Chain A
């Protein structure tokens, strides 16, 4: 078909569409619709609800009350306690998971027999559903019949007759221990990939220069994997702040309110008190905290590309 005949045919219009600026928008439209429907609209509803009084027992209608829910939040001692617990959960969880994940990655980066199989086995806890993890460890650490508790008692370590779960000071650390077991493989996978990306002859070079293993790790490995540490840490923090499943299933915030964390509090206020306005305000506050970390994440991701 010659150019002349094409110019006069209906295909000409189609070609101009293909070449026009609107075609890009047509291609983007399905993705944009999905993003709007599943990200922006729920986000908008959440923020809107946080500015309303929406108590399902009074009916489905919402009454706009401005920032009242946020004012209530900072007067609520339970919210402040939950914020403190969330901070503990985040800081202790991040440090322990990163440390254990890094240690495991260093060990598993060595070329040994069956290393592939060992790597798979070590990652298994991360694949275990949180419900299974929670109930399994609730019993393993049970004062009356827990296997690990009995073993620790055998070597003279006791948590008293009330046990770990009934101790308001220790219960949150028991949950953190279980979260460590379940989540350190996440860090390990990230860091193992980063470590394996370091050329092996660098170790030979540092050895020639007289560096011992610690010096090689401190001055070569650590700087090279630091971008991955930062990125995985930020993702880990988002998980730690935003995931109430283990706390819900293992302690439900107890004993008393000693292990209540912000996402659990939001869940309880929404689905037990049916106060979706106040619950949304708490969720928006959590969202703001996570958004802060996400911004850091995006910044570091961009930094990585520039490198």
Chain B
């Protein structure tokens, strides 16, 4: 050995040193790379905005927050509720001011709008390093754009119908309605105005825009192409509007206050026995069970099939990281915690929201509950929701008012359909223009 060292020339020694140094550097890099595969643990205060105002949802949030405190004691989570009416106003104000929450809830229909406005942070790297990502990978594309991830899926809204089993039996309905025609027949059969009882509590008031989009999709199929070309035909729009308007105006099978009935009113009517059917999603499952007895009084039912597709959507909801947060580690830690099977199971049992996590979806709560057979069947048949820039404005400021006008008799279904189609064409053109601009502004970023 001594001879060997003694025989080393300076050049050879340098070569050895260089190789050793390179190996050492590679080793350090490798260990760093290994370390980087795990997200950095968050600390400090983390503010989260959600738009849930229902009592069961808030209770479920309280429970998950307690669990998060135990899982991440170094993070102080401040959970804040912003109502849906105020959501975009506050989000825009925060994005413009570059100061707001650390983590935010992302409804899939708002995703493109929230992204374009600039308040969502690219969490692709975080997501890659999060071990739970595979469990929710099925819904992650709904919150991705240009191969970048912006949200961790939390649960899925699965649209379904609740119906009064006792009313159906009294009306002699033996088969659950599966088509639009059967749905109409059932609604008419359950209607008895002298008793103040109607077939359907339709949401024509606040939040009813989504109902119209469901109707248009069921009669037309997709209403917007991926390249932002409006594909809604006038004929389909007229048929969709005629069906639902006539159910209320001609068949009189809908609670007469429909034009202004929002969530609170349709469920109040349903619970009080003024309506035999109400359409909503799994998130009201526990609340319905507190008011009516599953099995004998109330049952869940898959949404009826329209000429082109089933009425309704399966729509995931996610949590993302606010672009201007000073605490992205803690924000992602919270968002990913809500994406974990444990948190999703708490939410499932507290509200009924269907988990996006494959592990949570196999929970006994779902497997042993007959009512959730509807959700499982709907997962295979309900179309997946889609969104485009300007969807929410078109839905809430064009579709809903036009539908309401039909219900109160100041507009015809044909007139409303024409305005809805024309306006969608304008939205599509604006979306295509905005998309080109967005791509060119963000090229290389």
Closest residue of A by beta carbon distance from B87: A271
Given contacts A249-B85, A254-B205, contact A273 B268 (CB under 8 A): no
Please pick, from A163, A168, A272, the residue contacting B396 in the complex, using a CB distance under 8 A: A272
List residues of B (85-135) whose CB comes within 8 Å of A's CBs: 85, 88-89, 92, 96, 113, 116-118
Q: Quick check: is A60 within 8 A (CB to CB) of the other chain?
A: yes
**In contact, B116 and A56 (Cβ under 8 angstroms):** yes
Assuming the A-B contacts A144-B269, A168-B410, A274-B393, are A253 and B401 also in contact, with contact meaning beta carbons closer than 8 angstroms in the complex? yes
Taking each of B96, B274, B408, B410, which has the highest tally of chain A beta carbons within 10 Å of its own beta carbon?
B408
Whether a CB of chain A sits under 8 angstroms from the CB of B257 is yes
Residue in B259, B265, B402 whose CB lies within 8 Å of A162: B259
Cβ contacts under 8 Å, A50 to chain B:
none
What is the chain A residue whose CB lies nearest that of B201?
A144
User: Which single member of A167, A248, A257 contacts B401 (CB below 8 Å)?
Assistant: A257
CB pair A256–B437 under 8 Å, yes or no, is no
Interface residues in A243-273 by Cβ distance below 8 A to B read: 248-249, 251-258, 267-268, 270-273
Q: Is the interface of A mostly helix, strand, loop or mixed?
A: loop
Residues of chain A within 8 A of B408, CB atoms compared: 162, 166-168, 255-256, 258
Minimum CB–CB distance from B145 to chain A (whole Å) comes to: 13
* B265→A142 contact, CB < 8 A: yes
Q: A256 with B404: in contact, given A163-B257, A249-B85, A271-B89 (CB under 8 Å)? A: yes
**Cα–Cα, bound, A59→B439 (Å):** 11
The answer to whether A58 has its CB under 8 Å from any CB of chain B is yes
* A: contact size bracket: 35 or more
Partner pick for B260 among A57, A166, A257, A270, CB 8 A cutoff: A166
Asked if B407 and A255 make an inter-chain contact with CB atoms under 8 angstroms apart, the answer reads: yes
Q: How far is the CA of A171 from the CA of B441 in the complex (A)?
A: 45
CA distance A271 to B393 in the complex (A): 9
Checking A59, A145, A161, A167 against B441 with a beta-carbon cut-off of 8 angstroms, the contacting residue is: A59
Does A165 reach chain B (CB closer than 8 Å)? yes
| Contact across chains for B393 and A144 when beta carbons are under 8 A apart | no
A-B contact pairs, 13 of them (CB 8 A): A55-B434, A56-B117, A59-B434, A163-B257, A166-B260, A168-B410, A252-B85, A254-B400, A254-B401, A256-B402, A257-B405, A272-B397, A273-B397
Q: Is the beta-carbon distance between A254 and B116 smaller than 8 angstroms? A: no
CB–CB B260/A60 < 8 A: no
How far is B404's CA from A254's CA once the two chains are assembled, in angstroms? 8
- B268 engages A255 (CB within 8 Å): no
Closest to B208 in A: A254
**Counting CB contacts under 8 A, is A52 at the interface?**
no
In the assembled complex, the CB of A129 is this many whole angstroms from the nearest CB of chain B, namely 13
Q: A55-B430, A267-B89 are in contact. List 5 more A-B contacts (CB 8 A).
A: A145-B272, A167-B408, A255-B408, A256-B259, A270-B89
Contact B256 A58 (CB under 8 A): no
List 3 A-B pairs, minimum CB-CB distance, nearest first: A161-B256, A256-B405, A255-B259
Please state if B117 and A251 are interface contacts (CB–CB under 8 Å): no
Q: Does B433 contact A (CB under 8 A)?
A: yes
Residue-by-residue, is B185-199 near A (CB-CB < 8 Å gives 1, otherwise 0)?
000000001000000
Q: A143 at the A/B interface (Cβ < 8 Å)?
A: yes
Contact A255 to B272, CB < 8 A, known contacts A142-B265, A162-B257: no
Restricting to B368-423, which residues have a CB under 8 Å from any CB of A? 389-390, 392-393, 396-397, 400-402, 404-405, 407-408, 410-411
**Chain A, Cβ-Cβ closest to B411:** A256
Given A57-B117, A255-B405, A256-B405, is A272 in contact with B256 using a C-beta cutoff of 8 Å?
Answer: no
Task: Answer whether residue B255 sits at the interface, using C-beta atoms and an 8 A cutoff.
Answer: yes
